[in-house]
Amino acid sequence: MIIKSIRTIKLKIVIGNLLSLISGFLLASRTTKIINIKLLIYTILGMFFLLVSNCLLNNYIDRDIDIIMDRTKDRLFINNKILSLLLLWMSILLATLGLIILVITNNLLVLILSLLGTIIYILFYSIYLKRNSLYSILIGSLSGAMPPVIGYCSILNFNYESLILMLIFITWQIPHSYALSIMYINDYKKANIPVLPLYYGYLTTRKYIIIFIILYILLIFLLGILTNSNMYFIITNLPAMIVWLYISLGINNINNWAKKIFILSIININIFNLSILSYYKV
């Protein structure tokens, strides 16, 4: 029951988004020379409630397709109307609580970005695009790129640094999500979810994965150059990026390849989040 509950709130996804929020916050804070711990805690708390709400609401919306797919058919609430309604009201309550915290403790831009991320993820991605468009991942990645930008904009206004930060997370999410769609292609086929490998095959999907990995790498270098970082930032990211690109260029068994790409994507983004600390190295 506990494990199923954790899966329901998608705790790994929530933690990953909060880590990216912290990296954006720290990137912006380097310009002020002071890390506002109190503001960081409030921003994390508000976004935690909002992210959990989004995940719960996504699960509520996806009940009809989750019951079809093997990896999601055992979710806690799928065949229970009372739990489903509880899930819906809990998501509304958590979203309200999260937004109230952000309104009280943060600025208007953070509130707007938080609402925009939620609207994109729930209304555009979960309700419509996921079920009807091959390009759902491209639009959904905008929502996934909001947490680091929100963290950044807690300190500074939206600028070229935050734009590059957003693009880094967009270009990271696409190979991450395409690899996942290959790993679970049979589930997506059963649920009639349009994903790129189902319609254009593995080779085309692989081509786009490689393109976006290269773009991700270039954006990492661009961020390092434009923010006048010391070499620690780029050096920290470089080994994992090289391995990710190298693995993407070679292919043997498609399922094993996709798993490697997926795992390496998680390793890369976590290293990126940690590498922001290099900006504080004397």
Separation of alpha carbons 146 and 16, rounded Å = 12
* pLDDT value of position 1: 45
Please state, for a pLDDT cut of 90, what percent of the chain lies above it.
Answer: 71
Do residues 164 and 71 both lie within one domain?
A: no
Q: Given 94, 128, 157, which residue is the final one in a domain?
A: 157
Whether residue 60 is found in the same domain as residue 172:
no
Task: Write down the pTM of the prediction.
Answer: 0.93
pLDDT in tens, 174-189: 999 999 999 999 999 9
Q: What is the mean pLDDT of the chain?
A: 90
Q: What is the pLDDT of residue 38?
A: 96
Looking at the structure, do residues 181 and 282 belong to the same domain, yes or no? Answer: yes
Looking at the structure, do residues 10 and 136 belong to the same domain, yes or no?
yes
Both 6 and 144 in one domain: the answer is yes
Q: Rounded to whole angstroms, what are the CA distances from 127 to 25, 61, 131, 176?
A: 30, 7, 7, 21
Give me the pLDDT at residue 78, please.
64
For residues 120-139, average pLDDT: 91
Average pLDDT for 225-243:
91
The answer, yes or no, to whether residue 125 has pLDDT greater than 60, is: yes
Q: Does 116 share its domain with 170?
A: no
pLDDT confidence of residue 6: 53
Q: Average pLDDT of 75-84?
A: 68
pLDDT for 75 equals 67
CA dihedral 197, 202, 206, 207 (to 10 degrees): -90
Instruction: Looking at the structure, tell me whether residues 109 and 167 fall in a common domain.
Output: no
Amino acid at 243: V
Q: Which of 174, 179, 190, 172 shows the shortest CA–CA distance to 71? A: 190
Range of the domain at 20: 1-157
